[in-house]
Amino acid sequence: MKQGRFSPGFLILVILVAVIALFVTFFPQSPIIPQQPISEIIAMAEKGQVKSIEVEGNQLLVTTTQGEQFKSLKESSSSIYELLGPASKNIEVGIKPESSFDWSRLLMGMLPFLFIGALLFFMLRSARGAGGQAFNFGRSQARVIVGNKPTVTFNDVAGVDEAKGELEEVVEFLKTPEKFLALGARIPRGVLLIGPPGTGKTLLARAIAGEAEVPFFSISGSEFVEMFVGVGASRVRDLFNQAKRSAPCIVFVDEIDAVGRHRGAGLGGGHDEREQTLNQILVEMDGFDSHTNVIVLSATNRPDILDPALLRPGRFDRVVVLDRPDINGRKAILEVHAKGKPLAESVDLNTLAKETAGLSGADLANLVNEASILAARRDKKAVEMIEFEEAIDRVIAGPERKSRVISHQEKKMIAYHESGHALVAKMLPRADPVHKISIIARGMMGGYTRLLPAEDRYLWTRSQFNDTLAVDLAGRAAEELMFGEISTGSGSDLEQATILARKMVTEYGMSDKLGPRTFGHKEQLVFLGKEITEQRNYGEKVAQEIDEEVYVLVDQAYSVARGLLTHHKAKLIQIAERLLAEESIEGEELEKLFNEPVSSPEALLPIHQG
Ligand code: ADP
Ligand code: MG
Ligand code: ZN
């Protein structure tokens, strides 16, 4: 906080020193006694006007017969009697020893030292105030939380019941180790939380800090890494020493992938340091004997890049996986975050949980917050379902961009594109049902179609993939069918379809021609957290065959989409025209529109005239 600024105390000191310096410079002597040149004094003495002279070194203090006082200076080599000559007879001359203690000179001499001293003092102080970073490189920077006042409890973590169960057991180990030791059980050394970003790993760790009632040391993996080699390792040592002293306790290392990377995989500089830090962690974890009640908890979303040595039994011997929540989990998380917020009757968390497949806990927390903000902006007393629906769109696709000017022709193209996606999704039995179509620009998209999976899926079949491909390509098929023209709006659809088709062939063995085997080997070279190479373990001929198969899959799906749209062209026109009029259609209204008979003849008009 004080870093980089001068504290008020320091300013006062500087001003004080400046004032003293001024004073000493401008008033070196007592100002009341006037100065006279020595010649004048001699002249006065010859006239008999001088009563007495006090000599102190070179300085003379002269008192006249009238009682006036003057100061004067003489040369140090000449004595006062020489100067006055015979006139000295009638004058009292007193000689004082030369004072070696000159205050003003002393002060002047000391000033620079005083100044430097003060500067150092305050620099040191502010450095220590800022966490001692400047002088305590090797110290661990862990924050210690002692669990008396839990801010987060297990109740705040929803929808990850298995993980919670595992961790509750760990807490129990720490509270009553005897129970487990009596049966010869070894207390786990380390627990590793693995899961995609935003699934509640850090939150769960904080809950443990609150519930365990033992000291909790919390540090982030990146805090071990510093510019200087060896600092990380020394911080690890310091942290573990601290922990051992306050056992039983928990050490939490968040984002451990910052130091726990596969050794020897570093590209560019700095991996030596990381390896040393990791080695030190391994050494420390091995160093605990079975009676040291220190449990190391850590979290990462990149388990794939962790060094295998970290994961062997005796180190992180428990791995707790946090996955994206399923429908019940999402409902529970929504409940946790909606607690204490005024919700209108219309809000149905079941439906919301259904509509938010694939969102993480953090996304859901954000969703509830967005909905509240929208309701507040609209001066409502309670958050209604409309706000939640709007918030889902915002979280998935970004905020609306109503200000973007879109020409009528462009809007028409977008409407047909999205209607194409929606209609094909509706027609194909294994594609997810459509929940919403919209031609309001959001984020980078001109419009979008939101599908609503009936249930959470962990397995996909080939026919589901085929139908998904057809839905992806339906936008482009609709454009081609209606306008005889294709736009850039299909770019990301095509990319998505191509990636899926390629995966079907090379990863899932879903191509009849190439058979049930995988192609290619992903090398986990670490560079900015992404794999950068895919190693081919097949020849040119197979590569060509893969390309052909991908082409066949995409082409077939495109034919399916185009065929369906051609057959139901009237329906497509009906949906698109309605979409143009209403800008977005969702839920039951959309369902009704699908089932409406195609009656209005004007819906069948050719659209090229626009
Ligand atoms: P990460 O797994 O990336 O560490 P966090 O634990 O930091 O994710 O989660 C971020 C936020 O998301 C939390 O502060 C919390 O508000 C919300 N959240 C995530 N998962 C859950 C959950 N299971 N229950 C309740 N809230 C959650
Ligand atoms: Mg985290
Ligand atoms: Zn599209």
Domain CATH number, residue 375: 1.10.8.60
d(CA 72, CA 42): 11
Q: Are residues 521 and 551 in the same domain?
A: yes
Within a domain: 573? yes
Q: Are residues 131 and 218 in the same domain?
A: no
List the shell of residues around ion ligand 3, using CB closer than 5 Å: 475, 493
Distance 310 CA to ligand 2 centre (A): 19
Within a domain: 260? yes
Q: 101 has which bridge partners?
A: none
Minimum-distance ligand 1 atom for the alpha carbon of 160: 23
Q: Are residues 310 and 445 in the same domain?
A: no
Within a domain: 174? yes
Is a pLDDT exceeding 60 seen at residue 588?
A: yes
Q: What is the pLDDT of residue 253?
A: 87
Q: What is the pLDDT of residue 139?
A: 66
Within a domain: 49? yes
Domain end residue (candidates: 305, 321, 337): 321
Within a domain: 609? no
pLDDT in tens, 468-478: 999 999 999 99
Using a 6 Å cutoff on CB, does residue 293 contact ligand 1?
no
The residue whose CA has the least distance to atom 27 of ligand 1 is: 361
Is a pLDDT exceeding 60 seen at residue 265?
A: no
The residue whose CA has the least distance to atom 6 of ligand 1 is: 200
For the chain, what percent of residues have pLDDT higher than 90? 21
Q: Are residues 274 and 168 in the same domain?
A: yes
Q: Are residues 263 and 233 in the same domain?
A: yes
Report the CATH number that the domain containing residue 45 is assigned in CATH: 3.30.720.210
Question: Does the active-site annotation cover 418?
Answer: yes
Report the CATH number that the domain containing residue 244 is assigned in CATH: 3.40.50.300
Q: Are residues 341 and 310 in the same domain?
A: no
Domain end residue (candidates: 397, 426, 447): 397
Average pLDDT for 98-118: 79
Within a domain: 1? no
Question: Treating both helix axes as pointing N-terminal to C-terminal, what angle do 361-377 and 385-397 enclose, rounded to 10 degrees?
Answer: 130
DSSP string, 448-475: EEEE--SS--S---HHHHHHHHHHHHHH
Q: Which domain holds residue 66?
A: 38-95
Give the count of beta carbons closer than 10 Å to the beta carbon of residue 31.
8
Using a 6 Å cutoff on CB, does residue 220 contact ligand 1?
no
pLDDT band of 363, cuts 50, 70, 90: very high
Chain position carrying tokens 């929940």: 435
The encoded tokens of residue 379 equal 């001066």
Minimum-distance ligand 1 atom for the alpha carbon of 336: 25
Lowest mean pLDDT among 1-5, 91-95, 258-262, 427-431: 1-5
Average pLDDT for 169-186: 82
List the shell of residues around ion ligand 2, using CB closer than 5 Å: 202
Q: Are residues 517 and 379 in the same domain?
A: no
Q: Are residues 471 and 556 in the same domain?
A: yes
Is a pLDDT exceeding 80 seen at residue 141?
A: no
Lowest mean pLDDT among 98-112, 169-183, 188-202, 487-501: 98-112
pLDDT band of 523, cuts 50, 70, 90: low
pLDDT in tens, 42-55: 888 888 888 888 88
Q: Are residues 192 and 282 in the same domain?
A: yes
Q: What is the pLDDT of residue 217?
A: 85
**How many independent structural domains does the chain possess?**
5
Q: Are residues 500 and 583 in the same domain?
A: yes
Substitution site in 155, 199, 327, 330 for ligand 1 pocket (most atoms within 8 Å of beta carbon) = 199
Using a 6 Å cutoff on CB, does residue 140 contact ligand 1?
no
Q: Are residues 220 and 355 in the same domain?
A: no
d(CA 536, CA 519): 7
Within a domain: 402? no
Q: Are residues 121 and 154 in the same domain?
A: no
Using a 6 Å cutoff on CB, does residue 210 contact ligand 1?
no
Distance 147 CA to ligand 1 centre (A): 20
pLDDT in tens, 302-314: 877 777 788 777 7
